[in-house]
Structure 1
Amino acid sequence: MLLALTATAGVAEVAVAALLESRPALVHTVTGAGGPGSWTYYADGLEIAAATVFGLALRGAILVPALSRVLSRPLRPNAVYPLHGVRFTLQRAVARLTSTRFTIALFGDSSAIVHYLKALGYRLAPIDQTGSNFGTMLGQEVPTLSRVGTGTMVSDGLSMANAEYSSTSFRTAPAAIGSHNYLGNHIVYPAGGRTGDNFLLATKVMIPVSGPVRENTGLLGSPPIEIPRSVERDHRFDHLTTGSGLRRRLAAKNHHNAVTMALFLTVPCLYVYGLLLIAMFPLTGDGGLYWLETAGTALLELAFTVGFFVLAERAVLGFRTLRPRLCSIYEPAWKVPSILYLAVFNGTPFKPAIWRLLGVRMGHRVFDDGCRILERTLTQVGDGCALNAGSVLQAHSLEEGVFKSDRITIGNGCTIGTSAFVHYGVVIDDHARVDADSFLMKGEHVPAHAQWRGNPAAELTGDAACRGMP
């Protein structure tokens, strides 16, 4: 149970689980459960599960915004404070509280996310509601010093870095993103970033902090190079974002998102319910056998975790596979589910086996040390591959309100380096290598035995490739 909750919940939840797991008598005292033959056993478990999940949701929606605003008040912009002092403690508490994955994932990619961020302290006015202004992964160090301009759309993985640290002190400073921007995945936006309005920031781009403020263009890579703000294909659905039809489409999207948010709360509620039923099951052993039964319970709960989330994901898809798509954000599409529980299996032979259950066409003898595969049924990984920690295989993109997805195919004996990002439509032939922290862009074809590196990734040739091989 503790392993499962560590991967899916916070420190407080794990502490409570540890208490209940080690003191089964306490469980029965609190719940009054008489055992599997009693209705009280099931009713009490359901009540505790619902209180846990919906309490967590209410904490994130109501308590966290109020606390973050109160704790942020002593933090003045550009004032220098010593490390490990009171204000440092307040700043770390604010960053921790406001980056709760559960709440951001609940409201992300829906109209509700802008209202939640405003409650945290973000400056967003005036809001140009698209129904998908922010994704489901977002982090910030001081929300009250974060500003995002009107009409800007943000994909998953934005981090507003509005705190700076030295060996002795730290300071907070405003981080401001312009209006009518589009931001790709995994971007760290620092205080003083030199980008303005109508700007495209590609996935994993390095934000310039010196030089003139750029507008009406785009940046790609690290170090960044200028690219066009948009291409013609990205505007084929522009007619859906204006006129009287927008209100109708936005209402339909809000209705669809309300259903998915209800499912998002129901699934963990049922999951916690299952864990509690297992934890409350009466143990018959005593003395030296009790520890064995406790260990067996923990393993059973871990197996339940895998089976439950695999079944839930496949059921939501109707036990079908995803198909490559090109559509607007107002079309019903698959919302990427949580895979936090898989972190327990990183670096073990069980991780590839679970990927297969989730729909990945996974080869034999694959080493996965912490890869994230987002569209499981659109991804193929060959035999003998190595997927290093922090790597991402993402078979979709959201660009200018256009949702795009395509397959990712990785051959035999390939290596995906630490924190490398592989985008949709990529084909990697046998025994090729994508180096650490590289960004392999959409539609790239990596030849067999080639080595690619950089952001954006390109092939290394000659001596450079030889020096890069272990």
Structure 2
Amino acid sequence: MSYYARALGAKIGPDVDLHTLPPVTGMLDIGAGAAIEPEVDLSGYWIDGDTVRVGGIRIGAGAVVGARSTLAPGTRIGRAAEVAPGSAVFGRVRAGQRWAGSPAVRVGGKSAPLAPERPQAPRRWLWAYAASSMGLGLLPVLSFALGALVLVQGARGAASLAAAIPGLAIWLVPSVLVTGLVFAALVVAATRLLSIGLREGIHPVRGRIAWQAWTTERLLDSARTLLFPLYASLFTPTWLRLLGAKVGKEVEISTVLLIPSMTTIDDGAFLADDTMVASYELGGGWMRLAAARIGKRAFLGNSGMAGAGHKVPKDGLVAVLSVAPDKAKAGSSWLGSPPVRLRRVVNESDLERTYRPRTALRVARGLWELCRIVPVILSCALGLAVLLTLAALATTIGLAWTVVLSGLVLLAAGAVAAAFATAAKWAFVGPIRPGEHPLWSSFVWRTEVADTFTEMMAAPWFANAAAGTPALAVWLRSLGATIGKGVWTDSYWLPEPDLVTLGDGATVNRGCVVQTHLFHDRVMSIDTVTLEAGATLGPHSVILPAATIGSDATVGPASLVMRGESVPVGSRWSGNPIGPWRVVKVRSYQAAE
């Protein structure tokens, strides 16, 4: 990654462990021996109302930035400083200090390295990482190639492209199934092989064990995208067991990213969307690996983290955008990074619809989940249609004009994919109203089917590329969202769009979730979310149900607007959970620009 960052114009010192994407602006300076963990936001810009805030980021030699942290434009991290996972940094972190939280503040004493001295760094392991990157990219290619061998059976004996279409349509479903099964088998086999000899401890980044851990995470990050229908389903616990994780009974797991051999999930646990479990830590050329555990009937909220050596206690809760503590008492609840105790009221609900479903409910859910293969097949059919269209154009008007018109073909494909996702939402779910639905109810299962249409059709063909454009706003309106004029949204993730209102000129930055539902105690509670005219939700922030951001108000990066909160008109807030954006932070942030 360091070579790619330098190609973009960033200044990267020697022996830097860069495990996240660099900014396309090149406005990044990382000193020698620094370590940047996965999913750190180094973009160096965000949109605040009608202002684009841009600034360079400087990270000193030997500093460590924890996973899923956000560094605002103008951030300066001093030499040997440490930023804890899940933090949001504005302004300056002095040399040797340890900071944590959103907004980040100084915690404890000096930063502590994983080991007193840097290990040797054999150059051959750089080639191993590079080879792994290429190999991971080839796994989907190999899977699609084997699926294509099945598909071409339908074109045998056809005299023309038009004549081949009926046969290709017949063989498309077997081809898709072969592709998916082959890729899943390759993921399981590779993950199992990579787990051999993987053990807890502190290991050199340029060494076998660290390479195994890094490759495992990257592989499973790809898998949860390409094999999305397997997640948040009855099959997910079995899938994770196949990968090597220890998973108990009656567990509900969504799109988790984990190191399987380091993960234990006890009976009745619930892991929400985009959780991270047993992820590695970096520092000083070393990687720390340790087991993580999700306790019995524990809950890990959306984008929550249970890092190396951490545990979500029995009957405990780690909230949205929060980090699990090192140790905690059973039944305790935690919020933020570093985590603080949270008062919680347990919802009493029908056990038959939450933890102990009847066989009939299991069968019904399984049948609905089988429907998730439909958008996968349709997405592949759309890809096949694009290829056939381009082939027909090439034979009719020549290769040069086909290249010229290929953009229009892809735009048309994106429109078709978006239309299918919209149709699925209204056909399977219909209008959505505030209320509560237990996990084992058809409403929840139907929304998951509609979400699969979004993730497997609309996202790859349309929504990812349309981020920040009027086209995305038009599509979100078609799903039922109320979107005003001049809205900028970098995120298509509006889980229950009917309940979302984005007023004129509102801004939703990258990585945000307009979270209209919560799933505590296995009951889906949904309510409205409103951003009034000119309101801003900063990058990687989450706003929970029944919350409102007032006109021209700003919620800063990596912030959490709690359920039912109302941000006053024209005010500025930040933090997890949000509080008034302190003057000292604003000044240092603005000065850094």
What is the TM-score normalised by the length of structure 2?
Answer: 0.67
Structure 1 segments unaligned to the other structure (5+ residues):
1-9, 20-25
Flag the 1:11–1:373 CA change in 2: closer, same or farther, 3 A: farther
Matched residue, 2:423: 311
Matched residue, 1:231: 345
Name whichever of 307-316 and 143-152 sits farther off. Answer: 307-316
Whole-angstrom CA distance in 1 between matches of 2:139 and 2:464: 17
Preserved CA contact (<8 Å) 1:158 1:188: yes
3-state SS, counterpart of residue 310 of structure 2: coil
Tell me the CA shift for residue 159 of structure 1: 0.5
Whole-angstrom CA distance in 2 between matches of 1:455 and 1:173: 26
Matched residue, 2:579: 458
Whole-angstrom CA distance in 1 between matches of 2:191 and 2:142: 24
Tell me the CA shift for residue 17 of structure 1: 12
Matched residue, 1:146: 263
1:389-446 Cα offsets, whole Å, 9 max, x none, are 1111010111112110011111101111010101111122211111110011111112
Which of 185, 204, 214 is 2:329 aligned to?
A: 214
Whole-angstrom CA distance in 2 between matches of 1:314 and 1:298: 25
1:178-233 Cα offsets, whole Å, 9 max, x none, are 22312211112111225532211111113333xx54332111223322123x415x
AA aligned to 2:374 is T
AA aligned to 1:80 is H
3-state SS, counterpart of residue 442 of structure 2: coil
Matched residue, 2:484: 363
Flag the 1:220–1:293 CA change in 2: closer, same or farther, 3 A: closer
Matched residue, 1:348: 469
Flag the 1:198–1:291 CA change in 2: closer, same or farther, 3 A: closer
Matched residue, 1:170: 287
Is it true that 1:275 corresponds to 2:383 in the alignment?
A: yes
Preserved CA contact (<8 Å) 1:267 1:312: no
Matched residue, 2:310: 193
Preserved CA contact (<8 Å) 1:160 1:188: yes
Is it true that 1:323 corresponds to 2:433 in the alignment?
A: yes
Is it true that 1:109 corresponds to 2:232 in the alignment?
A: yes
Tell me the CA shift for residue 461 of structure 1: 7.0
Is it true that 1:81 corresponds to 2:223 in the alignment?
A: no
Matched residue, 1:262: 370
3-state SS, counterpart of residue 400 of structure 1: helix
Is it true that 1:93 corresponds to 2:93 in the alignment?
A: no
Alignment of 1:19-168 (within 5 A): 33-35=158-160, 37-38=162-163, 40-47=164-171, 49-59=172-182, 61-78=184-201, 80-83=203-206, 85-99=207-221, 100-102=223-225, 105-124=228-247, 127-129=248-250, 133-135=252-254, 137-140=255-258, 142-168=259-285
3-state SS, counterpart of residue 524 of structure 2: strand
Whole-angstrom CA distance in 1 between matches of 2:194 and 2:573: 46
Tell me the CA shift for residue 454 of structure 1: 0.9
AA aligned to 1:41 is I
3-state SS, counterpart of residue 204 of structure 1: coil
Name whichever of 377-386 and 155-164 sits farther off. Answer: 155-164
Is it true that 1:381 corresponds to 2:479 in the alignment?
A: no
Is it true that 1:432 corresponds to 2:553 in the alignment?
A: yes
Which of 526, 534, 537 is 1:413 aligned to?
A: 534
Tell me the CA shift for residue 16 of structure 1: 8.8
Preserved CA contact (<8 Å) 2:536 2:554: yes
Matched residue, 2:516: 395
1:358-415 Cα offsets, whole Å, 9 max, x none, are 2211111111223522211111101111111111101011111211001111110111
Whole-angstrom CA distance in 1 between matches of 2:204 and 2:303: 29
1:68-89 Cα offsets, whole Å, 9 max, x none, are 1122103222151342x44444
Preserved CA contact (<8 Å) 2:154 2:167: no
Matched residue, 2:114: none
Tell me the CA shift for residue 456 of structure 1: 0.9
Preserved CA contact (<8 Å) 1:194 1:214: no
Whole-angstrom CA distance in 2 between matches of 1:152 and 1:289: 56
Matched residue, 1:4: none
Flag the 1:75–1:139 CA change in 2: closer, same or farther, 3 A: same
Flag the 1:239–1:113 CA change in 2: closer, same or farther, 3 A: closer
Flag the 1:468–1:167 CA change in 2: closer, same or farther, 3 A: closer
Whole-angstrom CA distance in 1 between matches of 2:188 and 2:506: 44
Preserved CA contact (<8 Å) 2:531 2:549: yes
Whole-angstrom CA distance in 1 between matches of 2:158 and 2:415: 24
Matched residue, 1:22: none
Identical-pair percentage: 23
AA aligned to 1:359 is G
Matched residue, 1:7: none
Whole-angstrom CA distance in 2 between matches of 1:36 and 1:82: 52
Tell me the CA shift for residue 306 of structure 1: 2.4
Preserved CA contact (<8 Å) 1:78 1:173: yes
Preserved CA contact (<8 Å) 1:32 1:41: no
Preserved CA contact (<8 Å) 1:365 1:384: yes
Is it true that 1:180 corresponds to 2:297 in the alignment?
A: yes
Name whichever of 446-455 and 193-202 sits farther off. Answer: 193-202
AA aligned to 1:332 is S
Name whichever of 95-104 and 441-450 sits farther off. Answer: 95-104
Whole-angstrom CA distance in 1 between matches of 2:279 and 2:569: 43
AA aligned to 2:232 is D
Whole-angstrom CA distance in 1 between matches of 2:365 and 2:252: 13
Whole-angstrom CA distance in 1 between matches of 2:514 and 2:310: 28
3-state SS, counterpart of residue 442 of structure 1: coil
Flag the 1:403–1:430 CA change in 2: closer, same or farther, 3 A: same
3-state SS, counterpart of residue 448 of structure 1: coil
1:319-354 Cα offsets, whole Å, 9 max, x none, are x31111213212212223334331111222222122
Preserved CA contact (<8 Å) 1:31 1:44: no
AA aligned to 1:163 is Y
Structure 2 segments unaligned to the other structure (5+ residues):
1-135, 146-150
AA aligned to 2:494 is I
Flag the 1:52–1:346 CA change in 2: closer, same or farther, 3 A: farther
RMSD over aligned Cα atoms: 3.1
Flag the 1:264–1:463 CA change in 2: closer, same or farther, 3 A: same
Whole-angstrom CA distance in 2 between matches of 1:241 and 1:348: 40
Tell me the CA shift for residue 295 of structure 1: 3.7
Preserved CA contact (<8 Å) 1:154 1:183: yes
Whole-angstrom CA distance in 2 between matches of 1:267 and 1:312: 9
AA aligned to 2:553 is A
3-state SS, counterpart of residue 289 of structure 1: helix
Flag the 1:81–1:223 CA change in 2: closer, same or farther, 3 A: closer
Whole-angstrom CA distance in 2 between matches of 1:15 and 1:329: 36
Whole-angstrom CA distance in 1 between matches of 2:504 and 2:328: 47
Tell me the CA shift for residue 157 of structure 1: 1.6
Is it true that 1:302 corresponds to 2:414 in the alignment?
A: yes
